[in-house]
């Protein structure tokens, strides 16, 4: 069982992991998503008791060779929906008890999501969570100001060569620093309700990779430089997918020693808010199902938000 515990400040128990995604698109009001559902395996302050209302977008602004949602991020699996469908799905998730609306890998869709989020916010008080690769442009983030309540970016690399090799992204470190800095500027305080569920703030996720301890140290130092009070989710959930089964480095999980080094680096950087995971959580079972037939049936059953 994948568990996640607070590095310093305990909140709710038993928060297994989660995964990323992203997509591609055509028309101005067309989105491609692969899953809408309650997800209980995020950080405790995101999943809460009701679960996080996740919307998984197809496609990705990164191309990580180790991606656990390869079909979505690399191949664009999913279903085309329009903005009314999206709003209807968000309202459905709220009725199901979602603690928030969690947009998973929304970056390629950011511009066209703006009117959708504006409309949703006229109809709901639920926090919007932006669960991205962390390479969002500052220009785009500024346009989202006031529409996103909880920023939940990844910060994968301090080593740009590693970012190019594993994720085909240039200047990843400086882009991540700029994005997280802007997110923190917009949400300078982390605000929780009396159940420990985050209502506003920033949580930065870092996936510990095999044989990449220096990369992790650099990421954690950079986060602390932005704000040592930032919450960091130190993820030990990496497991090799078939795409990297023969990779010389990525074909294994991380070791206990590597994760311990990452935890030591967290404290050495001066960070003091965060979450860690049990390494036994690194199992494929926690990758969500992407059943587009079920998604299509759900959408057909929902009232449209506009005529
Ligand atoms: S950032 Fe990388 S790991 Fe995350 S969804 Fe995109 S390709 Fe996959």
* Mean pLDDT, residues 213-235: 98
The closest of 93, 299, 11 to 103, measured between CA atoms, is 93
Beta carbon of 105 within 6 Å of any ligand 1 atom: yes
What pLDDT score was predicted for residue 215?
98
Ligand 1 centroid to 84 CA: how many Å?
27
Query: Ligand 1: which of 17, 20, 155 to mutate, most ligand atoms within 8 Å of CB?
Result: 20
Ligand 1 centroid to 68 CA: how many Å?
8
Ligand 1 centroid to 176 CA: how many Å?
14
What pTM was computed for the model? 0.90
pLDDT tier, 281 (very low <50, low <70, confident <90, very high otherwise):
low
The domain spans of the chain are 4-301
Ligand 1 atom with least separation from CA of 154: 1
SS3 state at 43: coil
- Domain 4-301: give its CATH code: 3.20.20.70
Q: Helix H segments across the chain?
A: 44-47, 70-73, 83-95, 110-123, 138-143, 160-167, 172-186, 213-226, 256-268, 292-301
* Mean pLDDT, residues 66-92: 92
Over the stretch 80-116, which tens digit does the pLDDT of each residue have? 999 999 999 999 999 999 999 999 999 999 999 999 9
* Atom 2 of ligand 1, nearest CA residue: 64
Percent of the chain with pLDDT over 70: 87
Over the stretch 162-219, which tens digit does the pLDDT of each residue have? 999 999 999 999 999 999 999 999 999 999 999 999 999 999 999 999 999 999 999 9
Ligand 1 centroid to 145 CA: how many Å?
24
What pLDDT score was predicted for residue 77?
84
| Tokens 């998604």 belong to residue | 295
Greatest distance between any 2 Cα atoms in the chain: 57
Ligand 1 centroid to 75 CA: how many Å?
12
> Exposure of 235 by Cβ count < 10 A (0-12 exposed, 13-18 middle, 19+ buried)?
buried
Query: Ligand 1: which of 59, 61, 73, 103 to mutate, most ligand atoms within 8 Å of CB?
Result: 73
Distance (Å, whole) CA 189 – CA 166? 33
pLDDT tier, 71 (very low <50, low <70, confident <90, very high otherwise):
confident
């Amino acid at each position: 069982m994948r568990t996640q515990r607070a590095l310093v400040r305990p909140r709710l128990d038993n928060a297994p992991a989660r995964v990323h995604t992203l997509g591609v698109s055509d028309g101005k009001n067309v989105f491609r998503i692969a899953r809408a559902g309650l997800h209980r395996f995020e950080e405790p302050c995101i999943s809460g008791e009701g679960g996080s209302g996740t919307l998984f977008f197809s496609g990705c602004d990164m191309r990580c060779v180790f991606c656990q949602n390869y079909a979505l991020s690399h191949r664009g699996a999913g279903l085309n929906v329009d903005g009314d469908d999206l709003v209807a799905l968000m309202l459905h998730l709220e009725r199901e008890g979602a603690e928030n609306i969690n947009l998973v890998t929304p970056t390629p869709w950011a511009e066209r999501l703006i009117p959708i989020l504006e409309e949703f916010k006229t109809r709901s008080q639920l926090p919007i969570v932006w669960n991205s690769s962390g390479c969002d442009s500052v220009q785009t983030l500024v346009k989202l100001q006031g529409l996103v309540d909880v920023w939940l970016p990844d910060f994968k690399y301090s080593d740009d060569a590693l970012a190019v090799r594993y994720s085909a992204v240039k200047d990843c470190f400086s882009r991540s620093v700029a994005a997280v800095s802007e997110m923190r500027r917009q949400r300078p305080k982390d605000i929780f309700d009396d159940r420990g569920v985050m209502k506003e703030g920033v949580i930065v996720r870092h996936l510990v990779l095999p044989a990449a301890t220096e990369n992790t140290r650099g990421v954690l130092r950079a986060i602390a430089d932005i704000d040592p009070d930032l919450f960091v989710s130190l993820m030990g959930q990496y497991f090799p997918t078939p795409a990297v089964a023969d990779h010389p480095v990525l074909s294994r999980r991380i070791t206990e020693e590597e994760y311990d080094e990452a935890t030591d680096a967290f404290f050495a950087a001066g960070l003091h808010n965060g979450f860690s995971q049990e390494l036994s959580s690194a199992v494929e079972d926690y990758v969500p199902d992407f059943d587009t037939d079920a998604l299509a049936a759900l959408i057909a059953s929902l009232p449209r938000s506009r005529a």
